[in-house]
Amino acid sequence: MQLLAEPRNDGHVRISSDALEQNARLLEGVLEDFGVKGEIIHVRPGPVVTLYELEPAPGIKSSRVIGLADDIARSMSAIAARVAVIPGKNAIGIELPNQRRETVYLRELVAAQDFERTKARLALCLGKTIGGEPVIVDLARTPHMLVAGTTGSGKSVSINTMILSLLYRLTPEQCRLIMIDPKMLELSVYDGIPHLLTPVVTDPKKAVVALKWTVREMEDRYKKMSKLGVRNIEGFTPASRRPRKRARASAARSRPASTARPASRCSRPRNSTWRRCRSSSSSSTRWPT
């Protein structure tokens, strides 16, 4: 925590209520010029964008307002505008970028109670919502994540924030990483940390080998979880201890099926004893040794 930069007081840019009200009335006028009547019922300022909730007049189609996104941005002298229906409300959300962006510091996010109290095993700090609340997601629930954007839009900052979120909460025994950096610039700062399974991979050929190893490891874990009857890694750790105990106890009672004696050599004074012998032998092959 001490290594992270502290938020600056001048970094928090607060838009006055008068300015928000003026922008809301201006936006209503722009929409009316395009034949869309309605009222801005709520304004939610955020660190980067401000959300204006438009309640359209009866008979106004949402698709008509959504199709005016580029015209709204041009008329409001904004770089871009996002327009979408707000789920669960009779309102359409219009997001416009702020003239001055507020910098979101990682120290704020990791110090937030939402991050400290989260039950996510692989918690990632992504940023803040429009309302200023921290955005915390679980990597285990979002395994297929793609970070995309134009040059200078903050892709590397986003990836570094995710990596630092994992390193802050998890020890090397809890989390291991394989980093692939063909550009040899972005992830080189992490070379040497104890969380790495291998040094940062920069050679494309070695990257293919690393990915193939990851696939084999994943498939091996799937097979082990299938044998133990669990569906995820959370249930694998406690379940993996029980089979080994059963296997040792079973081996003490009988031999595995591959080394069991033929039926002709097995003494069976009674049928019930023979049934127990066969059941014990088969059960010992169900669990890994």
Q: Distance between CA atoms of 105 and 4, rounded to whole angstroms?
A: 8
Confidence at residue 237, expressed as pLDDT on a 0 to 100 scale: 65
Instruction: Give the tens place of pLDDT for each residue, 135-174.
Output: 999 998 887 888 888 888 888 899 999 999 999 999 999 9
DSSP state of 263: G
For 218, other C-beta atoms within 10 Å of its C-beta total: 10
Contacts 24+ apart (CB under 8 A), 211-218: 211/180, 214/178
CA distances from 250 to 9, 14, 30, 280 (A): 67, 69, 78, 7
The number of helix segments (H) and strand segments (E) in the chain equals 9, 6
213 sits in which H/E element: helix 204-228
Confidence at residue 275, expressed as pLDDT on a 0 to 100 scale: 40
Q: Once rounded to an integer, what is the mean pLDDT over residues 166-189?
A: 91
Task: State yes or no: pLDDT of 100 exceeds 90.
Answer: no
Q: Distance between CA atoms of 168 and 165, rounded to whole angstroms?
A: 5
> If DSSP states are collapsed to H, E and C, what string results for 149-171?
CCCCCCHHHHHHHHHHHHHHHCC
Please list, in sequence order, all residues whose beta carbon lies within 8 angstroms of the beta carbon of residue 186, skipping any fewer than 6 positions away: 156, 159
Instruction: Give the tens place of pLDDT for each residue, 241-283.
Output: 554 443 322 222 233 344 444 444 444 444 443 343 333 333 3
What six digits make up the tokens of 198? 């291998």
50 sits in which H/E element: strand 49-56
Q: Once rounded to an integer, what is the mean pLDDT over residues 87-109?
A: 91
Q: Distance between CA atoms of 203 and 181, rounded to whole angstroms?
A: 8
For the question of whether the overall pTM of this predicted structure is more than 0.75, the answer is: no
Confidence at residue 15, expressed as pLDDT on a 0 to 100 scale: 79
CATH of 17-97, one of 2.30.30.30, 3.30.980.40, 2.40.430.10, 3.30.160.160: 3.30.980.40
Q: Distance between CA atoms of 80 and 96, rounded to whole angstroms?
A: 7
Instruction: Give the tens place of pLDDT for each residue, 54-72.
Output: 999 999 999 999 999 999 9
What are the extents of the domains in the chain?
Answer: 17-97, 103-170, 176-236
Please return the burial class of 65, using the count of CB atoms within 10 Å of its CB with bins 0-12, 13-18 and 19+: buried
Q: Distance between CA atoms of 98 and 81, rounded to whole angstroms?
A: 11
Q: Distance between CA atoms of 90 and 110, rounded to whole angstroms?
A: 35
What six digits make up the tokens of 284? 């010992």
Instruction: Give the tens place of pLDDT for each residue, 201-241.
Output: 999 999 999 999 999 999 998 898 888 888 777 777 665 55
Known binding site: residues?
A: 149-156
Confidence at residue 9, expressed as pLDDT on a 0 to 100 scale: 65
Known binding site for ATP: residues?
A: 149-156
What six digits make up the tokens of 82? 């996002």
